[in-house]
Structure 1
Amino acid sequence: MTRKTSIKLSGSYKASIPAEKLQELDKEETITVTVRLRRKKELPAEAFKGKPLSRETYEKEYGASQEDAEKVEAFGHEHLLTTVNVDLARRSVQLSGKISDLEKAFGADLKSCKIKSAHFRVLTREVSVSADLENIITGVFGLDNRPIARPMFQVAKKNVKFISHAAAPQAFTADQLAGIYGFPTGVSGKGQCIGIIELGGGFRKTDLTNYFKGLGMTTPVVKAIAVDGGKNDPSTADGADGEVMLDIEVAGAVAPGAQIAVYFAPNTDQGFLDAITQAIHDTTNKPSVISISWGAAEVNWTDQSLDNFNEAFKTAAALGVTICAAAGDSGSRDGETDGKVHVDFPASSPYVLGCGGTKLVVNNNQISSETVWHESSDSASGGGVSDYFPLPDYQQNAGVPVSLNTKFKGRGVPDVAADADPDTGYKVLVDGEQMVIGGTSAVAPLMAGLIALLNEKNKKPAGYIHSQIYADPSGCRDITAGDNKTTSGGTGYIAGDGWDPCTGLGVLSSL
């Protein structure tokens, strides 16, 4: 077959593995990729100012066009690829075929690399597309299938595998925190759906029944939704199940009247993105808020991923869907060891509510102190300044500093914060084990539960709340003490009056 003139898809590749560690792989293996398409037209400004679009209107007027999808399908068929799915609202076409045929179609070169005990596909150069599709295709996901994100939770430990509820007098259940923080009362999140993105692990219904029975609550309705072959797959308490159960139990304890839809996907950039777009455009469950507790430092993502994920979050904002994401658990370095400061993505997207962490001390059900969570270099609230996303309009007067790495005038992270220190963490039940878990992973579902309460109380979706809370931060209680300096050189950020790159505007409790 004579290949048409092709154009490199800029930002589709990031070098990270030495060539000597790469091996040949089976080119006859069949895999599926997700091809992302452009919108029909730009989203209206009004959709971000309290007049969100319906999912139906969005698909009809702003999703991908049928013509563009057909062109991509035809291109795929020319290269012996099969159409698996076309979703115009999600702006996605999924194509399946042999690795050898996908390499020819997209000018790719794939190798194998062993990471820990598993083998993964690795892309060794940028993807290219047929020149006539250059302005139609915005990204190709699934060729490279390395793990992309980590869960942002930490188990409380003191010379034992994990601390039980009885041994943690300063730990809380999420409903207790809702009362301490002054979340709205008289509402339960009824009529709302909280979406949760998971990239591993699973939940057991018996755990949920026993946990909520212990709280004196009716167990919320929890649905497991499979994405790209992901599934509800519980294993052991010290694995990803801790993240899944934390997310469900925290969100459910704050908003027990809300339905919870858990989207399980593989831990790849393709799986993560497909889970997000499926949740955003789910016309059956219709989440009004989505919680994400998985992420990685911006430096680990391709530009293609940052751009396409961000566009999905922009769509959520236009649909009135609030996205809450953990800001990271390793302070200003965000788990990196290069001596530089880093912020976590997806929390650094300007359309995401970035959720930082605090250390909370309570006496007689009253807050006696609350400071930036910072116990060590591996146990501290993430936060800082994006090196990729420019400073958004809503942060123009927030006093966001320039990036300490590049002097880039970027988006400040986080927006809000709440209890995250494992030593003052959350009492949960995981695979039959009573555990105390912290991390900004807990803050994202806590905020998602709050948003569900506010949506019911205000009889409308909170949606894209950034402009509102920055213009009037009175619904947040400022955290002014502590820092998240965790790099080897001691660089990082200090909390202070107003917004700061440790806890944002503070603890949100009302809108």
Structure 2
Amino acid sequence: MAKLPRLAEHPRSVLPGSEKSPVVSISTDGAPAAKPASSSAKVTVSVIVKRKQPLKTKKLGKERFTRAEFGKLHAADPDSVKLVKQFAKEFNLKVEADPKQVARRTVQLTGTNADMQKAFGVQLMQTVINGQKYRVREGSITLPAGLIGSVTAVLGLDNRPQAVPHFRIRKAIAAATPGAGGIQPHAGSAGVSYTPVQVAQAYGFPSGASGTGQTIGIIELGGGYRTADITAYFKSIGQTPPSVTAVSVDGGKNAPSNANSADGEVMLDIEVAAAVAPGAKIVVYFTPNTDKGFIDAITTAVHDTTNKPSVISISWGGPESSWTTQSMNALDAACQTAAALGVTITVASGDNGSTDGVSDGANHADFPASSPHVLACGGTMLDATGSTINSEVVWNEQASGEGATGGGVSNVFPLPSWQSSAKVPAPTVSGGGRGVPDVSGDADPNTGYIIRVDGQTSVIGGTSAVAPLWAGLIAVANQMSGKSAGFINPAIYAAKAASSFNDITSGNNGGFTAGPGWDACTGLGSPNAPALIKLLGGVSTTPVTPTKPPKKPKPPKKPKPPKKPKPKAPKK
């Protein structure tokens, strides 16, 4: 490569999709709501660069790559990495060491706020949101023209919260009490509750499969877990506690506090996934609640060759309108990579009905559930006895303030080819069309899951419960088939897949109504596990552990020739 001209001398261009909306800040001490950020404070950003070659996304789910093949074709473009490193040197930014830099297509740069402002053409401000101080920016990022096309996103200049957890704690419930066989479902003042194992039984999860040999990755943007709670919970349901490992991303930590915090999300995710796939290992990737942290956690999990998750569960998100285009494209690209490598990603579709909590009254899809490269998981109200489903309808408790399943049509991502026959409603903008969710499961807090959080037993629902439920099911399917299911969306939308679901035809989430086939409330429906596992290449009966072939018998030893008797000396 020829010697590069100084990037600092290039004219500036806007990084496409980097426009950031103004923040609403409130000062609680009478000081100005926003002020310039400290010029000497340090910040680290993630610069995402283009691939060597674009992925053929229409082939995802049908073709996959080994890691070596992927690295050769679709990892970071080396010239783009060189340009970013030259840019960093010219603007006094430090390139952080990262052995997965090329695979993740992410170059992390650290510098002062003053240097970052010069490098990226932004003004960084300090403001207060809900009593907490944050570093924010408005408007667009600009780069030297020579970087446009090589750099696809710059994340981390703004560290305001990006997403919310999608779990709901039941408001009124009788105390959950352990019975002879562990915690039992019980009628409370507001409904019925189940252990995750009982929900799995209702959906036909095979009792003989456990997800042994699989690793379920869980992305968390806050909260934490206590090992003592995990041990006590699994003892109460008669299971061996799972192997749970915490991985720090961008300084995120396992930081449990109290039952009213994001700990509820973390414990719900771990306890549901591990209970329905009791043989699987659980790896929790803790990261800050920023667009940078969210995306870095996904790329870290996808490229984690130590823990090797075959399925990743995400229970955090926010309306598409709350994301920058560059952030959505970067996160979707990470999910494309997962699909190409055979890693399934399950994502909660939101808990605020068709509006996704946006006050404009319009319908909004939740992201990252609206990414066309994840399995978006909606919510139902389940009434089941053992393995019999008595009724199942759309989760909608908005009248009592207890939420409703998210679902709708993306205004960002177009209709995928595999969803073209699903009769997805038309988007409100020409560029959209992807329908959400794909699948569903029990989520109503009034038919919720008995969960232990920080020493307390609660009943929790939300689509946050459905993402780990499906992650556990995928892990079980992977064990039974002997291979990872990977990106399953094309397979489950095929006509032959209809029997793999319990079709939900009653209820609504505000703007959309359930009906036969796919709908924007519960997708294709809740799982009929035996049929679904068979569809994904496994078997619908209890797997048989293969036995080792008998050892070949050793050939018989050749008989030794008889010893010749020694001649006796003659007697004198």
| Among candidates 464, 471, 486, match of residue 448 of structure 1 | 471
CA 1:88–1:163: 2 relative to 1, 3 Å: farther
CA–CA separation in structure 2 for the residues paired with 1:165 and 1:264: 29
Larger Rg over CA atoms: 2
Give the match's secondary structure for 2:440. Answer: strand
User: What's 1:488 paired with?
Assistant: none
* Larger deviation, residues 455-464 vs 19-28: 19-28
Q: Indicate whether 1:265 and 2:302 are aligned.
A: no
User: What's 1:481 paired with?
Assistant: 506
| Among candidates 7, 12, 17, match of residue 13 of structure 2 | 7
| Among candidates 331, 339, 344, match of residue 322 of structure 1 | 344
| Among candidates 411, 414, 417, match of residue 390 of structure 1 | 414
Q: Indicate whether 1:165 and 2:189 are aligned.
A: no
User: What's 2:22 paired with?
Assistant: 16
Does the CA contact (< 8 Å) of 1:321 and 1:461 recur in 2? Answer: yes
User: What's 1:230 paired with?
Assistant: 252
User: What's 1:435 paired with?
Assistant: 458
Give the match's secondary structure for 1:374. Answer: coil
CA 1:63–1:133: 2 relative to 1, 3 Å: same
User: What's 1:460 paired with?
Assistant: 483
Q: How many residues align?
A: 501
* Larger deviation, residues 61-70 vs 254-263: 61-70
CA–CA separation in structure 2 for the residues paired with 1:480 and 1:409: 25
- Identity, % of aligned pairs? 51
Does the CA contact (< 8 Å) of 2:61 and 2:339 recur in 1? Answer: no
Q: How does 1:313-462 map to 2 (within 5 A)?
A: 313-363=335-385, 365-376=387-398, 378=401, 379-403=403-427, 405-406=428-429, 410-462=433-485
TM-score when scaled to structure 2? Answer: 0.85
For residue 304 of structure 2, what is the amino acid of its counterpart?
Answer: D
Give the match's secondary structure for 1:28. Answer: coil
Q: How does 1:293-312 map to 2 (within 5 A)?
A: 293-312=315-334
Measured after TM superposition, the shift of residue 407 of structure 1 is 6.5
Does the CA contact (< 8 Å) of 1:55 and 1:283 recur in 2? Answer: no
Measured after TM superposition, the shift of residue 174 of structure 1 is 1.0
Q: How does 1:154-303 map to 2 (within 5 A)?
A: 154-158=168-172, 164-166=175-177, 168-169=186-187, 170-303=192-325
Q: Indicate whether 1:69 and 2:86 are aligned.
A: no
Give the match's secondary structure for 1:371. Answer: strand
**Deviation readout 1:453-481 (Å, 9 max, x if unpaired):** 00111111111101100002321110000
Q: How does 1:67-216 map to 2 (within 5 A)?
A: 67-86=79-98, 87-158=101-172, 164-166=175-177, 168-169=186-187, 170-216=192-238
**Deviation readout 1:372-415 (Å, 9 max, x if unpaired):** 00011651010000011000001100000112x44765100000
* Larger deviation, residues 116-125 vs 50-59: 50-59
User: What's 1:29 paired with?
Assistant: 41
- RMSD over aligned Cα, in angstroms? 1.7
CA–CA separation in structure 2 for the residues paired with 1:328 and 1:68: 36
CA–CA separation in structure 1 for the residues paired with 2:61 and 2:393: 33
CA–CA separation in structure 1 for the residues paired with 2:233 and 2:67: 34
Does the CA contact (< 8 Å) of 1:157 and 1:163 recur in 2? Answer: no
Deviant stretches of 4+, over 6 Å: none
**Deviation readout 1:122-170 (Å, 9 max, x if unpaired):** 1122111111111110000000000000000000112xxx764249532
Give the match's secondary structure for 1:89. Answer: helix
Measured after TM superposition, the shift of residue 49 of structure 1 is 3.9
CA–CA separation in structure 2 for the residues paired with 1:278 and 1:302: 21
Give the match's secondary structure for 2:96. Answer: strand
CA–CA separation in structure 2 for the residues paired with 1:3 and 1:229: 34
CA 1:213–1:331: 2 relative to 1, 3 Å: same
* Unpaired runs of at least 5, structure 1: 486-491
CA 1:432–1:136: 2 relative to 1, 3 Å: same
User: What's 1:505 paired with?
Assistant: 524
TM-score when scaled to structure 1? Answer: 0.95
* Unpaired runs of at least 5, structure 2: 1-5, 26-31, 178-184, 536-572
Measured after TM superposition, the shift of residue 362 of structure 1 is 2.1
For residue 243 of structure 1, what is the amino acid of its counterpart?
Answer: E
**Deviation readout 1:86-112 (Å, 9 max, x if unpaired):** 410000000000011011011111111
CA–CA separation in structure 2 for the residues paired with 1:163 and 1:291: 30
User: What's 1:489 paired with?
Assistant: none
For residue 384 of structure 1, what is the amino acid of its counterpart?
Answer: G
CA–CA separation in structure 2 for the residues paired with 1:45 and 1:238: 41
Give the match's secondary structure for 2:194. Answer: coil
CA–CA separation in structure 2 for the residues paired with 1:390 and 1:110: 34
CA–CA separation in structure 2 for the residues paired with 1:93 and 1:363: 52
Measured after TM superposition, the shift of residue 367 of structure 1 is 1.4
CA–CA separation in structure 1 for the residues paired with 2:24 and 2:304: 40
For residue 157 of structure 1, what is the amino acid of its counterpart?
Answer: K
CA–CA separation in structure 2 for the residues paired with 1:179 and 1:40: 46
Measured after TM superposition, the shift of residue 73 of structure 1 is 1.1
For residue 500 of structure 2, what is the amino acid of its counterpart?
Answer: G
Measured after TM superposition, the shift of residue 259 of structure 1 is 0.7
For residue 115 of structure 2, what is the amino acid of its counterpart?
Answer: D
CA–CA separation in structure 1 for the residues paired with 2:146 and 2:421: 43
* Larger deviation, residues 221-230 vs 45-54: 45-54
Does the CA contact (< 8 Å) of 1:325 and 1:444 recur in 2? Answer: yes
CA–CA separation in structure 1 for the residues paired with 2:342 and 2:476: 15
For residue 485 of structure 2, what is the amino acid of its counterpart?
Answer: A
Give the match's secondary structure for 1:88. Answer: helix
CA–CA separation in structure 1 for the residues paired with 2:479 and 2:397: 37
